[in-house]
Amino acid sequence: MKVVLAEKPSVAQSIARIVGATHKKDGFFEGNGWQVTYAFGHLIQLAMPENYGYNSWSKSNLPMLPKEFLMIPRQKKEGKTYKNDPGVMKQLKIIKHLFEEADEIICATDSAREGEAIFRYIYNYLGIKKPVLRLWINSLTDAAIKDGFSNLQPDSNYDNLFLAAKARSEADWLVGMNATQACSITGKSLCSIGRVQTPTLVMIVERYLQNKEFKSVPFWQVALNTTDGVKLISAGKWDEKGQAERAYNTASKARNGKVIKAGKKQKTELPPLLFSLTDLQKAANSKYGYSADKTLNIAQSLYEKQLISYPRTGSSYIPDDVYDTIPGLLKNPVFDKFRASVDTIVKPSKRSVDASKIEDHHALLVTGVNPKTKDIKPDEQVIYDMILGRMVEAFSRPCEKEIDNYTVDAGGYLFTVSNTIILQKGWRAVYGAEDKDRLAVPSWYQGETICFTGAELQQGQTKPKPLHTEGTLLAAMETCGKDIDESPQRLELRSMWAQREAIKDSGIGTPATRAGIIETLVARNYVVREKKSLVPTAKGMEIYKIVKDMDIANASLTGMWEAKLAAIERGQMNVSQFNSDIVEYTKHVTDEFLHSDLKPILTGKQTEIECPLCHQGHIRFFDKVANCGNEGCNFHIFRTILGKKLTNSELTDLIIKGQTRELSGFKCKDGKPFKARLRRDDKGNISFLFNSKK
């Protein structure tokens, strides 16, 4: 029997249909000599600190540096403890039985770093020793799956991919767990610090501070109107109104001026590259206000419906063999809404063709499967059309423009005007390029005299950089905060793309994880969304004040670790060296927090309630926790217990009296509500008390 492990049930179902495993069983599909089972994402995870004996948050435990990382099944939090997820345990038992009985095992998790980790963690945890083949596909179309099965490779070919994934997860554990505990202990309040999360927060806060602290200053320019109906603007700007007024008085008295410079040049604007995931997320956020997470989820759904290629790609390029399929694909009816532009494509542009710039997966493409057969939702149609339109743009001809620049001398002051004329729309025609009227600026020649009808004194204000949106933040994460001009008005695109390619391996996070990082910051209440903007909360600002001068906040340093992980994936760096380096970095980060003179993070509401555990400190109430203000005491009670958020009064009863009255609002695992009293023991552990049934 051949056994296939997919990453999700929906993917397993698609594969099962292709191989003929049409009988649905408990946890797998079976038939035609095949069994296709599945995970639910990560079924196995790195163990928590308590699994290594670190049962309390104490300076003496830090830094926590396990000699060997333990793997445990995914857990669910119940009260103050974590327990194995019953659904996970059941599925692991099914996978183990199938693997042990299998004649051949095939890894069919997502063809990427995390997909490889999902399979290997399960395989290793279950203690399986059988050889494994790898299904590597770029889409879930029938043709792609069949082609993948005809080209199975030994999974050992992807060892470096797994080593990079494993190194990344262990690095996140080391830095995140130690930094979080060190900061929380020193700052005397629960906080969350992460290897990628924290520098991302710093980017958001620094842009916010730049915006709010920006002092807008006025400036003045002079405009001249010509008898040709053209408006000339002074080449210089004046910070002092008096200087501008002198220029205005002189220019307004001038009845004519002389053209001292007349230039015409043609510009070729190359078509944009195909979408990577990050580029798609930025565009969807800018145009439709979609969050990065929403765009990723939609793209994943489109992938599972066989409509687009693998979505978690960091590449904007395709290889030559995929390019060879493009002329035929463009004839597909799915492109009919762009048919006028498609019909102008004689030979698709090869701008997005470069196999050397593809790591795991090529750029986003539609597969040619008709969306009308998949009953897609409106938001899915929006993202699908964006990918479709970008493909037409990317394979279209360049846009050819003529730019006319003129400089006119009027009373000793210089005035300029420029005009852009589209000679050949090319890719700009896909969404409609605006033709400038060629007569908007007459073809003046050098030395020509221009007559004026009047002058204007114009005032402007300097403006700050806007707050980060998810789109601009994704761009900053991609480049470690290095500014790269991506404005649509930019004429020279080569420099921008060259800069992006040079630093693409040094961004923070990956295309697959950046959306999750943003969602984590929102979930931690460090950042809130205000319309399209990302704004730090008071809590986020407090964290920023603590970490802003620390290495954990340095995006470039974090980007260096990402570059090293990419090098491991390519087989260019020894993973042992990376692990050794990250341990030293963890020690440094932990030491920075432990030896910092931190004020308590978010002072909270100080009470006169004596701590029932140490009897020395007093209890403080925070939004998510109540804890002891004594640095050496670990007493704390989380406000939310099984879905019920406790009030200050209820927390007070629990701390002073040792129990509450009967409370409603708790929820069982199946979502059913129940009532109970809460009881606290002498060690601070919380349990439920139920009234006896009469």
| Torsion, Cα of 268, 270, 271, 274 (10° steps) | -170
Q: Give the separation between CA 126 and CA 139, rounded to whole angstroms.
A: 29
Spell out the residues 6+ positions from residue 570 whose beta carbon is closer than 8 angstroms to its own. Answer: 160, 359
As to burial, measured by CB atoms within 10 angstroms (0-12 exposed, 13-18 middle, 19+ buried), residue 314 is buried
State the Rg of the chain over Cα: 31
Please list the residues that pair with 530 across neighbouring strands: 533
Taking CA 93 as the corner, what is the angle to CA 92 and CA 95, rounded to the nearest 5 degrees?
A: 65
Nearest one of 47, 78, 54 to 181, comparing CA atoms: 54
Q: Give the separation between CA 679 and CA 687, rounded to whole angstroms.
A: 5
Q: Give the separation between CA 400 and CA 429, rounded to whole angstroms.
A: 11
Q: Which residue has the tokens 């700007």?
A: 237
Q: Are 42 and 118 in contact (CB under 8 A)?
A: yes
Q: Which pair of structure tokens corresponds to residue 692?
A: 């006896």
Please list the residues that pair with 81 across neighbouring strands: 78
Q: Give the separation between CA 4 and CA 514, rounded to whole angstroms.
A: 29
Q: Which pair of structure tokens corresponds to residue 448?
A: 């020509």
Please list the residues that pair with 689 across neighbouring strands: 677
Spell out the residues 6+ positions from residue 648 whose beta carbon is closer than 8 angstroms to its own. Answer: 605, 621
Phi-psi category of residue 104: left, alpha or beta, with phi > 0 → left and psi -120 to 50 → alpha: beta
Catalytic residue among 158, 208, 303, 310: 310
As to burial, measured by CB atoms within 10 angstroms (0-12 exposed, 13-18 middle, 19+ buried), residue 461 is exposed
**Quick check: is 310 catalytic?**
yes
Could you list the beta-strand ranges (E) of 27-185. Answer: 28-31, 34-38, 44-46, 71-73, 75-78, 81-84, 104-108, 132-134, 153-154
The residue type found at 664 is S
Q: Which residue has the tokens 């007569």?
A: 439
What angle, rounded to 10 degrees, do the helices at 378-394 and 292-304 form? 90
**By 3-state DSSP, what share of the chain in percent is helix, strand and coil, each rounded to 5?**
40, 25, 35
Strands 686-689 and 673-680, bridge-based pairing: antiparallel
Q: Which pair of structure tokens corresponds to residue 79?
A: 């009260």
Q: Give the separation between CA 184 and CA 57, rounded to whole angstroms.
A: 9
Q: Which residue has the tokens 């589209």?
A: 422
Q: Which residues are catalytic?
A: 310
